[in-house]
Amino acid sequence: MMSNVTLGKYIPNNTFFHRLDPRCKLLLLFIFMITIFINIGMIGYITLGLVMIVCFILSKISLFTVIKSLKPMWFMMVFILVINLIVVKTGTPWHIGKITIYSNAIFNTLKIAYRLVLLISTSTIFTATTKPLDITIAIEDLFAFLKPIVNVHILSMMISIALRFIPTILDETNRIMKAQASRGVDFVHGKLKEKAKSITSLIIPLFVSAFARSDELANAMEARSYNPYAKRSRYRKLKWRIKDSIILILSIILLAGFITLAVTHLANNWNGFIFDWIRGWFK
Amino acid sequence: MNIKINHLSYTYPSNQPFKEDALSDINASIKSNDFVAIIGQTGSGKSTLIQNLNGLLIPTTGQVEIEDYIIKKKVKLKNIKQLRKKIGIVFQFPEYQLFEENVEKDILFGPKNFGFNEKQLAGLAKKVLEEVGLDETFLKKSPFELSGGEKRRVAIAGILAFDPEVLIVDEPTAGLDPQTANKIMELFYNLYKKQHKTIILVTHQMEDVLKYANHVMALKNGKLEAYTTPFRLFNDEKLMSHLQIEMPLILKIAKETKKKYPDLDLSKVKDIDSFVMQLKDVI
Amino acid sequence: MSAIKFENVNFGYHNQNLIIEDLNLEIKRGKYTVLLGHNGSGKSTIAKLAIGLLECKKGSIFVDDILLNEENLNKIRSKVAIVFQNPDNQFIGATVRDDMAFGLENKCVDTNLMDGIIEEYASKVNMQKFLDAEPTNLSGGQKQRVAIAGVLAMQPDILILDEATSMLDPVGKKEIFEVIKDLKQKRSDMTILSITHNIDEALFADEIIILNNGKVVKVGNPSEILYDNELLTKNALEAPFIVQLEESLNKAGIKVKQTLDVKELVKQL
């Protein structure tokens, strides 16, 4: 059940995207996310979609992976559709039997769905082409300017340890579930009360072992003279190349273009609140 | 309860991130009240095999027959709970499955899941605790304040409590000091001798195989390479080097001694005591 | 000359009973010492005290004749390396390389030198082929070897193995034994302290210390201790297989002389 997670999984390869500096990719991720959240209108969204398709081709991620990573969205989409159908009463009314639905409810849902697809695609490309360890280093580097306020190194160390232990903890979860199933626990069926009990029989051992692990890990780190506040050298160093700069500049230009597009009303009015907010900002 | 394994193969889903061990075309049957050891290097498929015996895993192809139960792909297992009550598994490091606030509750967790009534539950925890060599003062203690060896015993008691007919134990002595380990092995041997249970022991300890088991299954790379008696296995040097296992020291010594005393009956050498007895007879 | 010295040390968690009471202990420099004790004899606590992961309530601890206190902690930790029991819970990096680099980073070793050091020490434990492997793809024995290489790369004077083999399968145990034997031969200046309940590790020790209930019961060399079945049994330990056999034989009236060598014993029969 937990082995089907594709979202956020690194896929080893050696494509153009794999070779980009992780810091560059992290910045690109931010830029794309901002762009997606701004209401950039029909033209903007189609352009962005095309850019995304090019990115997928360049990063050699199979369509199958993308579709699989979109899987967890279905439930959310149905939920949004239902809410929209109830709340939105504008646009052309359509009569299906005794129920009346409005066209805008459908369009609104489609818009949200499209944005979500773009959002998940961006993060899929990012995580599929960047090693988790490199992400943490990129975070540490990019946020280095925060050093006087927070210790970014601790944050990045925490993330990398979390990433390191995800497979171990999944393995453990699997093992405890099997052990409890052998003691007659049914994790699937049963009444609410029984279910609560079966979850407890999984969660408590999991926590107990996670605490024991963290204790031992802390000992092992401290014994190897680790001190997060002391000066440390670093084994992994990132290399920023000219192509990273070029890509970054191109993306910023693209973002600037979209913002202009949105502000100057060239876009269809898709009544997003961010759009209004930005317009107000420029007045 | 006879267990019949027919052409059992098992492969893990390919996207499983962990290194797991497949099985291919296993054929074997285990008779009631037998003591069977399963041996093989780490990764040979021992754990996968035992999980196929109580429906935690379902064979990819082939089947397992246990009385009326047929564990097979695409055939829904009726009353899987009753099957798990009959076939108890003590997993490796079972202390990780403890979760209740006190030892008594934890031991009774399994029996309650399997629908034991008040009358059956009364005095049960105390009885099984005694079987594993702990007195009733432990009943009200929290399982988390016990020592490693005590936790292990409590976890085993939690399986014995629902009185399975077949007891599968996966490396029950790993990490324990020799005296505790011996006591635990004696416990399983007594269950086999006095309560006529079927014991399936997964182990790396060839001394235990020689001393306790009637039959031994040897796995390598997911294949059943041999299903024979310990005596035959340890006399087949070709097979042993193929399986990369070493002969128990006592048998090695007995073999050397036999060169001097040809009357020595090697088939009766199980441990130090039986060797010394045999030797006394021939000198 | 002592590598580690405990003087009248007391230790207990919070307000609970003392686990270690009035302990006096000396680990000799450049020797391979085995500290034997059953589950719960307090032996792992000693390791944690010696590198300052736990603080003793009373008494003093010296490492290389330096008093262990807040001020000297870093100095002492740079001299002592420790490998713990659970191979999973001490693998910090994402790959073997990164894990071995972790200690070097803490020591502020120059980045350009790291790869050389990593390769050198990985080959000492025969792991040079797995430098880019992730922990999920390594066996327990391999992970422990990485842990040993990782701490050796920090060039300690003292290596403590805290039940480093107890969670491993026989193949893994053997791998670690080989590494220890090799170290003992090639690095005669290094102090090795193995904390264990596995008597087989004691067979080639220079000195054995038996611990029970947080107290030193006996100190001696293998021939003094390993033949003493009564002493071992009393402390919930087991004599080596061959010693048990000899005693059984003698009891049955088949007289044999003491030996730790199997061939020698068979010859006597």
The CA distance from C256 to the nearest CA of chain B, in Å, is 12
Counting DSSP H helices and E strands in chain A, the numbers are 11, 2
pLDDT value at position A6?
53
Residue A187 contacts by C-beta under 8 Å, 6 or more apart in sequence? A177, A180, A181, A195, A198, A199, A202
In CATH, what number is assigned to the domain containing residue B185? Answer: 3.40.50.300
The answer to whether the pTM exceeds 0.80 is yes
The CA distance from A237 to the nearest CA of chain C, in Å, is 9
pLDDT value at position C113?
95
Q: What would the mean pLDDT of C71-90 be, rounded to a whole number?
A: 93
Do B176 and C39 make contact, defined as CB atoms within 8 angstroms? yes
Is the distance from CB of C20 to CB of C46 less than 8 angstroms? yes
Do C98 and A236 make contact, defined as CB atoms within 8 angstroms? yes
The CA distance from C49 to the nearest CA of chain A, in Å, is 11
Residue B33 contacts by C-beta under 8 Å, 6 or more apart in sequence? B192, B196, B197, B198
Secondary structure, 3-state, B227-277: EECHHHHHHCHHHHHHHCCCCCHHHHHHHHHHHHCCCCCHHHCCCHHHHHH
B56 and B40 together in one domain? yes
Q: Which tokens go with C197?
A: 């309940």
Nearest-angstrom CA–CA distance, A37 and A31: 10
pLDDT value at position A38?
82
Tokens 């087949």, residue located: B236
Judged against a pLDDT cut of 50, whether residue A2 lies above it is answered with no
Q: Pick the residue of C68, C82, C97, C105 with the most A CBs within 10 A to test the interface with A by mutation.
A: C105
Nearest-angstrom CA–CA distance, C61 and B198: 53
Please provide residue A56's backbone torsions phi and psi, each rounded to the nearest 5 degrees. -60, -45
Nearest-angstrom CA–CA distance, C197 and B198: 31
- pLDDT over 70 for what percent of chain C? 100
Nearest-angstrom CA–CA distance, C186 and C21: 36
B221 and B128 together in one domain? yes
Do C269 and B257 make contact, defined as CB atoms within 8 angstroms? yes
B60 touching C (Cβ < 8 Å): no
Can you name the residues that pair with C6 across neighbouring β-strands?
C25, C61
Residue-wise over B33-72: b if at least 16 C-beta within 10 A, else e? Answer: ebbbbbbbbbbbbbbbbbbbbbbbbbbbebbbebeebebb
Q: Which tokens go with A244?
A: 């990273």
Q: With a cut of 0.90, is the ipTM above it?
A: yes
Task: Please write the tens of the pLDDT for every residue from A77-132.
Answer: 888 888 888 888 887 788 887 788 888 888 888 888 898 889 888 988 998 899 88
Total structural domains within chain B: 2
B82 and B135 together in one domain? yes
A15-24, A145-154, B226-235, C157-166: range with lowest mean pLDDT: A145-154
Please provide residue A269's backbone torsions phi and psi, each rounded to the nearest 5 degrees. -75, 110
pLDDT value at position C38?
86
B159 touching A (Cβ < 8 Å): yes
Q: What would the mean pLDDT of C28-51 be, rounded to a whole number?
A: 91
Tokens 């060896």, residue located: B149
- pLDDT over 90 for what percent of chain B? 81
Residue A111 contacts by C-beta under 8 Å, 6 or more apart in sequence? A270
C156 touching A (Cβ < 8 Å): no
- Residues across chain A: 283
Chain C residue with Cα closest to B92: C167
Nearest-angstrom CA–CA distance, A252 and A248: 6
B96 and B156 together in one domain? yes
pLDDT value at position A147?
80
Edge to edge, what strands does the sheet with B166-170 contain?
B87-90, B166-170, B198-202, B35-39, B215-220, B223-228
Nearest-angstrom CA–CA distance, B70 and B66: 6
Do B177 and C265 make contact, defined as CB atoms within 8 angstroms? no
B16 touching A (Cβ < 8 Å): yes
Q: How confident is the model at residue B43 (pLDDT cuts 50, 70, 90)?
A: confident
C94 closest CB neighbour out of A164, A222, A232: A164
Q: What would the mean pLDDT of B105-126 be, rounded to a whole number?
A: 95
Residues of C in contact with A235 (CB under 8 A): 97-98, 101, 104-105, 111, 114
Is the distance from CB of C33 to CB of C216 less than 8 angstroms? no
Is the distance from CB of A227 to CB of C105 less than 8 angstroms? no
Judged against a pLDDT cut of 70, whether residue B172 lies above it is answered with yes
Task: Please write the tens of the pLDDT for every residue from C136-187.
Answer: 889 999 999 999 999 999 999 999 999 999 889 888 999 999 999 999 999 8
Task: Please write the tens of the pLDDT for every residue from A215-250.
Answer: 999 999 999 999 988 889 999 888 899 999 999 999
pLDDT value at position B166?
96
Q: Identify the residue with better confidence: C84 or A4.
A: C84
Q: Pick the residue of A183, A191, A202, A211 with the most B CBs within 10 A to test the interface with B by mutation.
A: A183
Residues of B in contact with C170 (CB under 8 A): 204, 246
B113 and B168 together in one domain? yes
Residues of C in contact with A167 (CB under 8 A): 136
Q: How confident is the model at residue C208 (pLDDT cuts 50, 70, 90)?
A: very high
Closest CA to C143 of C111, C169, C113, C114: C169
Nearest-angstrom CA–CA distance, B37 and B201: 5
Helix or strand or coil: residue A149?
coil
The CA distance from B150 to the nearest CA of chain A, in Å, is 16
Residue type present at position C261: D
A38-42, C40-44, C187-191: range with lowest mean pLDDT: A38-42
- pLDDT over 70 for what percent of chain B? 98
Nearest-angstrom CA–CA distance, B38 and B218: 6
Nearest-angstrom CA–CA distance, B140 and A139: 49
Task: Please write the tens of the pLDDT for every residue from A158-216.
Answer: 988 988 898 889 889 999 999 999 999 988 887 888 888 889 999 999 999 999 999 99
B51 and B186 together in one domain? yes
B81 and B206 together in one domain? yes
Domain that holds residue B258: 248-283
Judged against a pLDDT cut of 90, whether residue B207 lies above it is answered with yes
Closest CA to C49 of A228, A219, A226, B146: A219
Judged against a pLDDT cut of 70, whether residue A277 lies above it is answered with no
pLDDT value at position A274?
53
B221 and B279 together in one domain? no
pLDDT value at position B7?
95
B215 and B155 together in one domain? yes
Tokens 């899929």, residue located: A124
Task: Please write the tens of the pLDDT for every residue from B5-35.
Answer: 999 999 887 644 445 578 999 999 999 999 9
Alpha-carbon Rg for chain C in angstroms: 20
pLDDT value at position A61?
85
B242 and B272 together in one domain? no
Q: Name the DSSP class of B123.
A: T
Judged against a pLDDT cut of 90, whether residue C42 lies above it is answered with no
Burial of A146 (0-12, 13-18, 19+ CB in 10 A): exposed
pLDDT value at position A273?
52
Judged against a pLDDT cut of 50, whether residue C88 lies above it is answered with yes
- Residues across chain B: 283
Q: What is the DSSP string of A179-231?
A: HHHHTT--SSSS-HHHHHHHHHHHHHHHHHHHHHHHHHHHHHHHHTT--TTS-
B243 and B213 together in one domain? yes
B40 and B122 together in one domain? yes
Residue C17 contacts by C-beta under 8 Å, 6 or more apart in sequence? none
**Average pLDDT over all residues of chain B:** 92
Helix or strand or coil: residue C237?
coil
A44-83 residues touching C, CB cutoff 8 A? none
Q: How confident is the model at residue C203 (pLDDT cuts 50, 70, 90)?
A: confident
Residue type present at position A173: T
The most confident of B18-32, C5-19, C110-124, by mean pLDDT: C110-124
